[in-house]
Amino acid sequence: MGLRCCLTFCAVLSVALLNALPASAAPLDPARLVVIGGDLTEIVYALGAGRQVVGVDTTSNFPPEAAALETVGYMRRLSAEGVLSLEPDLVLAAADAGPDAALAQLRAAGVAIAIGPDNPSPEGVLEKIAFVGDALGREAMADALAQRIQADMGLVRAAVSQLDQPVRAMFILSVRGGALMAAGGGTSADAMITLSGGANAVSGFEGYKPLSAEIAIAAAPEVIIAPAHAAKALGGLEAIKARPELVATPAVETDRVLIMDGMLLLGFGPRTPQAVAELASLLHVDFKLPELTGRLEAN
Amino acid sequence: MDGAIAAPRARVRSGSWIALAVVATAALALLGVLLGPVTLSLEQMVTALGEALSGAPPSDRGASAILLQIRLPRVLLGAVVGAGLALSGCALQGVFRNPLADPGLVGVTAGAAVGAVTVIVLGEHLLSGLDEGAVFVLLRPYLLPIAAFLGAGLVTLLIFQLARDGQGRGLSVATLLLAGVAVNAIAAAVIGGLTYVSDDQQLRDLTFWSMGNLGGADWTATLLACAAILLALMGVLRLTRALDLFQIGERAAFHSGVDVERVKWRVGALSALAVGAGTAVAGPIGFIGLVGPHLARLLAGPSHRVIVPLSALMGASLALSSDLFVRLIIPPAEPPIGLATSLIGGPFFLWLLMRRARGGGVA
């Protein structure tokens, strides 16, 4: 009986120790933080931990202070030693950060890495906020932020539901080999268009795919949306409107080609309610912009 | 051909080029270990190395991991991958008597790319039916290099088979080159198709794979690539006399007692081994396979006994200096190595060409 008690105690103890280990590896309120992923960076700043950030990836361009920090390169092409040179206590990484080899090398060097949730939706924003709050030991602030965003999202959704007709919108991500890469189903852009009272004019494929000129014309989008970096690469607004596959679309005929910040639009970070409201007011002239409480400004 | 009197002098000169290349490669390898975005003191490195050799637990986990898990395998991999590329370039240029022949031409790179891209795009899909046995779990992280290596071997074999003529007269070099062009085009189409069906994340993965990277290999993969490339080096070194005789023509080589068919097949197989292994682990790295052997030839003349090892050393130096460049240029970020191989190798190659064209001679 005594032996059994002892064994049970040992088992409980070892489980407790094992559970405690990962948490103890990551210091709460780390002094030096590297953040991989623009959405996570925005949340870290929104939770007031911006001063602790010593490095970010190239997708972190908001707030402007974050964009001014050292960058460790693109989130899927990290260099382990590059990240180590910033001497981080904790690396907060988005779900698609990589390559895996670099993450493994970082772990081998004793760096704590927390990988965020992968869910490009308004619910995903809340999950990411909870994740960052836990990792930084700022749960209360994270709860408050999440509640504000949830409330704002509710306001925006209610306003969008007042709209009658969904607007047919096409999202252009970039140009590849001369062809436009358009957002099909299952993309962040598709989700944002739907949330904002639009309907993706491009259907029939998943992900971002090159769009043939004929399909682009047949899709007849009423609005064309391009992220700012792609618009720049395409040669500006006028160059987009002049493209042969777009020139005959209703969007160009009625002069409704919109350019929006890519990270704001597709990041699914804390600015998502604001992004949905902005897009909805661009898609629908009669959209009544609700008063948002948690509007995040560059501070 | 050198005259009888000039020969000993030429030998001394070529020997000293090899010695110089060994020193350069060793110096670059040492720099690759010493320098990086993280500044490690010599003391830290000696301590970490000593602890690792004596089996003691590392006192400074960060320094130890940087030295032993990041820099050492990376430098070793860079040296052997560069050597393997230049080595097979040298052998292929010798057999084809074509200065533009490089490992890409016989389909090695395209085959490796088809294998790698297949795993990136269809991996999850194809493997979902398999049970997660112990062997499978062990192999899982190496699936991409294995597929790339198999792809390289299979495509090279296919091209060599296609180039066999029906009358039993063996391989035709002209057919081989044309078959290579066609098979490369087909491989590009397969990659294009896979790229088209890939999702956003796979697309980014395969884009970055195709840029090449020495930083992503662990010790197991690095040592396997080392073994394969050393094997190929030893194989090619045994063919140097035959490669010399190939330069005066295939028929002349045949009459001098060279089994020309066997040499061609061996060069194909050894190239597939060296480049396949390198590409499997580090991704495709351009330019070295083409320019490494040319550098060697410009420096040390036509004898394959000299330029095979010299090519390998030039390739290793080129890869190591390029990797050092990309690691140090914009830390903590790191541009792809392919940029640097051309950026460093290109001007150096041009400089050598210009010097020779002006009649100044190199030596």
Q: Distance between CA atoms of B287 and B144, rounded to whole angstroms?
A: 23
User: String of b and e for A249-273 (b: at least 16 CB within 10 Å)?
Assistant: bebbeeebbbbbbbbbbbbbbbbbb
Give all strands of the β-sheet with A112-115 in edge-to-edge order. A70-71, A53-56, A33-36, A90-93, A112-115
Average pLDDT of span B216-233: 90
Average pLDDT of span B18-30: 94
Q: In the predicted model, is pLDDT for residue B38 greater than 90?
A: no
A101 — contact with chain B (CB < 8 Å)?
yes
CB contact under 8 A, A82 and B37: yes
Q: Please check whether residue A135 is in contact with residue A251, taking contact to mean a CB–CB distance below 8 angstroms.
A: no
Phi-psi region of A207 (alpha: psi -120 to 50; beta: other; left: phi over 0): left
Average pLDDT of span B313-322: 94
B327 — contact with chain A (CB < 8 Å)?
yes
- pLDDT category at B226 given cuts 50, 70, 90 is very high
CA distance B201 to chain A (A): 7
Residue B334: which of A79, A100, A101 has the nearest Cβ? A79
Helix (H) or strand (E) holding A34: strand A33-36
pLDDT tens digits, A40-83: 999 999 999 999 999 999 999 889 999 899 999 888 888 898 99
Average pLDDT of span B175-197: 88
Return the closest-CA partner of residue B239 out of B3, B14, B277, B247. B247
- pLDDT category at B299 given cuts 50, 70, 90 is confident
Work out the number of other CB atoms within 10 angstroms of the CB of residue B292.
34
Top-confidence residue, B259 or B358? B259
Q: Output phi, psi for A115, to 5 deg.
A: -100, 125
Return the closest-CA partner of residue B326 out of B113, B83, B35, B41. B35
| Closest Cα in chain A to B71 | A81
Residues of A in contact with B62 (CB under 8 A): 84, 109-111
Average pLDDT of span B284-313: 90
CB pairs under 8 A between A and B: 94
Q: Where are the domains of chain B?
A: 22-357
Prediction ipTM score = 0.72
A212 — contact with chain B (CB < 8 Å)?
no
Q: In the predicted model, is pLDDT for residue B148 greater than 80?
A: yes
CB contact under 8 A, B37 and A73: no
Supply A97's token pair: 């950060």
pLDDT recorded at residue B3: 41
Pairing state of beta strands A167-176 and A179-183?
antiparallel
CB contact under 8 A, A207 and B215: no
Q: In the predicted model, is pLDDT for residue B57 greater than 90?
A: no
Q: Distance between CA atoms of A93 and A75, rounded to whole angstroms?
A: 8
Supply B8's token pair: 């000993």
Supply B89's token pair: 């370039």
pLDDT recorded at residue B156: 86
pLDDT recorded at residue B69: 85
CATH of domain B22-357: 1.10.3470.10
Residue A81: which of B70, B204, B205 has the nearest Cβ? B70
Domains of chain A plus CATH, in order, are 33-157 (3.40.50.1980), 164-283 (3.40.50.1980)
Q: In the predicted model, is pLDDT for residue A5 greater than 60?
A: no
Average pLDDT of span A119-145: 93
Supply B296's token pair: 């060697």
Top-confidence residue, B98 or B18? B18
Q: Whole-number mean pLDDT of chain B?
A: 84
- pLDDT category at A18 given cuts 50, 70, 90 is very low
Q: In whole angstroms, how far apart are CA A212 and each of A202, A245, B186?
A: 11, 8, 22
Q: In the predicted model, is pLDDT for residue B31 greater than 90?
A: yes
Top-confidence residue, A9 or A139? A139
pTM, 2 dp = 0.78
Helix axes A139-161, A122-136, angle to 10 degrees: 170
Residue A55: which of B71, B332, B334 has the nearest Cβ? B332
Residue entry with tokens 């790339």: B148
Q: Please check whether residue B151 is in contact with residue B111, taking contact to mean a CB–CB distance below 8 angstroms.
A: yes
pLDDT tens digits, A95-115: 989 888 889 889 988 899 999
pLDDT recorded at residue A1: 42
Q: In the predicted model, is pLDDT for residue A294 greater than 60?
A: no
